[in-house]
Structure formats: C-alpha cells, structure tokens
Structure 1
Amino acid sequence: MNLGYARGKRVNQQFDYLEAYEVEEIFSDGTRDYEVFQDPESNYQRLLDYAEPGDCLVITSLEVISRDYQKLLSFLDELDELELDIVVLTSPNLTLMDWREVFFWVSKNDRLLHPRLIKMKLKQEKNQNKQAYSVFSGDSESRYLYREVMWQLIGKQKLRKISEQKGVPIETIYRIQQEFKRLKLALILAMCFILAITTIKISENFSDNLWIQVAVCVITTLAILYNTLADNEQT
C-alpha cells in the first residue's frame, strides 16, 4: 500500500503530486515545523502506526522530512525497522537502502570534497538563503517564515532551537538576528533623537541654562543606550 505524507511549504501542491501517484491514503501535518516528528499525536506518527510491513511511504521531496543528513539517516532507520519502503517523487527512483547509502556517504565524505568547491557551495547557499529568507522575498511563505523568526528572536529564543523548529540553516538564523539587531539599534537611535528634543523642550520650563538642558539630554540618552547595549550583550 502506498501511503502519502505532506508537510511544510506548498502543501496543496504536494497533495496534487501524491494524488497523481495514486496513493491509497494521505497524511499531512500542514505547515507545522520539523519538531512535529517528535509529537506522538502528529499525523506522521499516525501514518507509522497505520502502516504495515511492506507498505511504501510516498513524499514529494526529502525536505518534507528534514534537511539534515543525520536526521534523514535516522528517518530511514525508522522506516527500515518498520519494514517500510520510500518513494521520493522529485528525486531518482531509489530504494530505502540506496538512500541510506547515499546519505551515509555524504555525511562521511562531505568534508573530503575539494575545499574550494565547498567554499563555492557555501557561498551559493548563503546567497540563496539571503534572497529566500527576507522581508522583501518574492515568496509569501518565505516572508512569513522571516517574520516568524523575527518574533522568536524578540522572544529571545536560542538560535539553534529556532533553526531546528523552522528547518532553516543556523547561519541564516544568525544573519536574521544581525539584521534584527541593526533594526533595533536604528529604532533606538531614532527614539533617542526624539527624546533628546523632547527633553530639551521640557528642560526649558525649569531652567534657561543651555548647559543644564544639554546635560540632562546627554544623561538621558546615555542611560537609554547603555540599557539597550547591555540587553544586546545578554542576547
């Protein structure tokens, strides 16, 4: 029996692929994060409970499960224990054992590739991630994910935890964090400027001495900047 599973981006498109493959049942966890695979109440877990030895799990791409080689290897081990096979519709037609050999080789030999090729690959991925995960991205889902990461950074969640939840490389999360800090600092400076003008106006009501007005303005501004920078150091 062919059992389809959909999760992540473009779920409706995944449904179309799975229905065209004529799967008997389709399970989906919608747009939930990768941590859904740790949820015993997830539809993915229901699929595993429903499946019988000899059944085949059908997915549109490996990103539905994970982007990490080690996690994909663990996923394949789980299928092997349940005596299930796998079909990835947008990839070559490989058996579960074939996929395991591929990921095992990649995880062991990726560092043995030519250093220049690795550097070019990382640079290319960095540029792709920078274009994909941005407030100006052409993809609405990428913009939504960017905002979600921003809110989690505001909530002071750990970068690695955000990376695991959203399935985004930690380098990208770090870049978004730096953009968030620059935006935060720009807003603070703008507020300091407005507050400085306001403080001078208020000080005029209590003293005509210009130096006193300037001193009050400087002290207030430095206090705000100190608290802001101290908060940034903690995060």
Structure 2
Amino acid sequence: MNLGYARGNKLNQQFGFLEAYELEEIFSDVDHNYEILQDPESDYQRLLNYTEPGDCLVIAFLEVISRDYQQLLEFLNELEDLELDLVVLTSPELTLNDWREVLSWVNRNDQLLHPRLIKLKLKQEKNQNKETYSIFSRDSEAKKLYRDVMWQLVGKSKLRTIAKQKGVPVETIYRIQQEFKRVKLAVILAVCFFLAIATIKITENFSDNILIQIVVCVVSTLVILYNTLADSEQ
C-alpha cells in the first residue's frame, strides 16, 4: 500500500506530485518544525500507525522530512524498523540502504561541499533542462518529446509513469504539466469569449433588451466555464 505524506512549505506543489502517484491516502502536517514528526497527534504519526510491514511511504522531496542529514538517517532507521519502503518522487529510485549510504557519505563530507557552488550548479541544470524540453526547443528530439508528453497529459497519464517512459526527471514532467494547464485555460477562455459573442448575436434575434442579452451571455458563459473546469479536475 502506498501512502503519501506532505509537510511544511510548498504544500500545493507537494500535493501535485503526490496526487499524480497512485496512493491509497495522503497525510499532511502544516507545521514546519521537525518535532511535529514526533507529536502523537500529528498526521505523520497517524500515517505510521496506519501502515503495515511492506507498505511504502511516498514523499515529494526529501526535505519534507528534514534538511538535517542526521535526522534523515534517524528517519530511515525508523522506516526500517517498521519494515516500510520509501519513494521520493523528485529523486532517483533508491532503497533504504542506498539512501543511508548517500546520506551517511554527505553527512561525513558536508564540510567539503561548497553550498554556493552546489546552488549554482543546480540552477544551471534547471535552466538547461527548461530550455531543452520546450515547444520552442531547437532540438527536434526534445521538441518531439515535449509534444509526446503533452499528448500523454491530455490522456491523463500519471506524471511518474510518463517520466519513466521518457527517461526524464519528474520535475520536468511537472513543469510541462503546469504549462499544459495554462495553455488549456487560455484556450477555454478564448472559446468562452467567442461563444459569448455568438450568444449575444443569437439573443438579438429574440429580444432587443440589452439587459436580457447580457444576462443570457453571462449565464451561458458561466455554465460553459463550470462544466469545462469541473471536467478538467476529474
């Protein structure tokens, strides 16, 4: 059984990742403090009480738990004691032992890593990734991949499924999804605009009262918007 957990900052973004993954239930805590994870009243503790050996805890980022490597190692130990697996949606698929090795190494060598250099490198990679996968990309393969992802999003495929099929990071698929939503909303608004004009023209044939024309136009536009947006949320 896959159980999602979100906490702290960027909850909406976390929910976006989690809802695109096949989960039985999502738990969340608003409190940013690490201590909330030990609070018996927290959703995190409810999640742990709800789990059974063999279940999988799914989070969007490792930072959802903590930015402290030692605390993350304690978190991994807790999952191991409960015989739970871990999936971090924005990271490579690793076992608990793999995560422990990575975090232990980073914890030992943290003083050797220059934070600003790491930040600049990540920023460069992010910008490069954004330029690579775009409808305006100069690379024909990247442009084709972008279109394929768009069509799969139209078909309501899961983000992680698309990422695995295309071999690109989940963050990239999520960014394309957000662009797709903006394009879809723009198309909906454009269609509503033209339908509103058409409604006014049709209403003119039945009544010369401008107030009636406006009311009919507004009502029909709202009905169209409601049904379209409600369908897109499903």
Q: What interval of TM-score do these two structures reach, taking the shorter chain for normalisation?
A: 0.5 to 0.7
CA distance in 2, matches of 1:138, 1:110: 37
1:190 partner letter? A
Note closer, same or farther for the CA distance 1:165–1:202 as it changes in structure 2 (3 Å cut).
Answer: same
Q: CA deviation at 1:161?
A: 1.1
Q: CA deviation at 1:195?
A: 0.4
CA distance in 2, matches of 1:227, 1:108: 52
**3-state SS of the aligned residue for 2:121?**
helix
Q: CA deviation at 1:119?
A: 2.9
Map 1:49-128 onto structure 2 (within 5 A). 70=93, 109=105, 112=110, 113-128=113-128
Corresponding residue number in structure 2 for 1:180: 180
Structure showing greater radius of gyration is 1
Percent of counterpart pairs with the same letter?
A: 68
Gaps of 5+ in 1: 1-67, 74-99
Q: CA deviation at 1:106?
A: 5.6
Gaps of 5+ in 2: 1-90
Aligned pair count reads 138
Corresponding residue number in structure 2 for 1:218: 218
Note closer, same or farther for the CA distance 1:140–1:110 as it changes in structure 2 (3 Å cut).
Answer: farther
CA distance in 1, matches of 2:185, 2:92: 37
Q: Which moved more, 1:110-119 or 1:181-190?
A: 110-119
CA distance in 2, matches of 1:69, 1:226: 39
Q: CA deviation at 1:186?
A: 0.8
Corresponding residue number in structure 1 for 2:144: 144
CA distance in 1, matches of 2:231, 2:115: 38
Q: CA deviation at 1:179?
A: 0.7
Q: Is the 8 A contact 1:149 1:162 kept in 2?
A: yes
Q: CA deviation at 1:229?
A: 2.7
Corresponding residue number in structure 2 for 1:230: 230
CA distance in 2, matches of 1:223, 1:190: 15
Q: Is the 8 A contact 1:200 1:217 kept in 2?
A: yes
**3-state SS of the aligned residue for 1:136?**
coil
For residues 76-113 of structure 1, give each alpha carbon's deviation from its aligned partner in whole angstroms, at most 9, with x where no partner exists. Answer: xxxxxxxxxxxxxxxxxxxxxxxx9xx99667646855
Note closer, same or farther for the CA distance 1:226–1:122 as it changes in structure 2 (3 Å cut).
Answer: farther
Corresponding residue number in structure 2 for 1:201: 201
Q: Which moved more, 1:207-216 or 1:119-128?
A: 119-128
Corresponding residue number in structure 2 for 1:168: 168
Q: CA deviation at 1:224?
A: 1.7
Note closer, same or farther for the CA distance 1:158–1:70 as it changes in structure 2 (3 Å cut).
Answer: closer
CA distance in 2, matches of 1:144, 1:110: 38
Corresponding residue number in structure 1 for 2:68: none
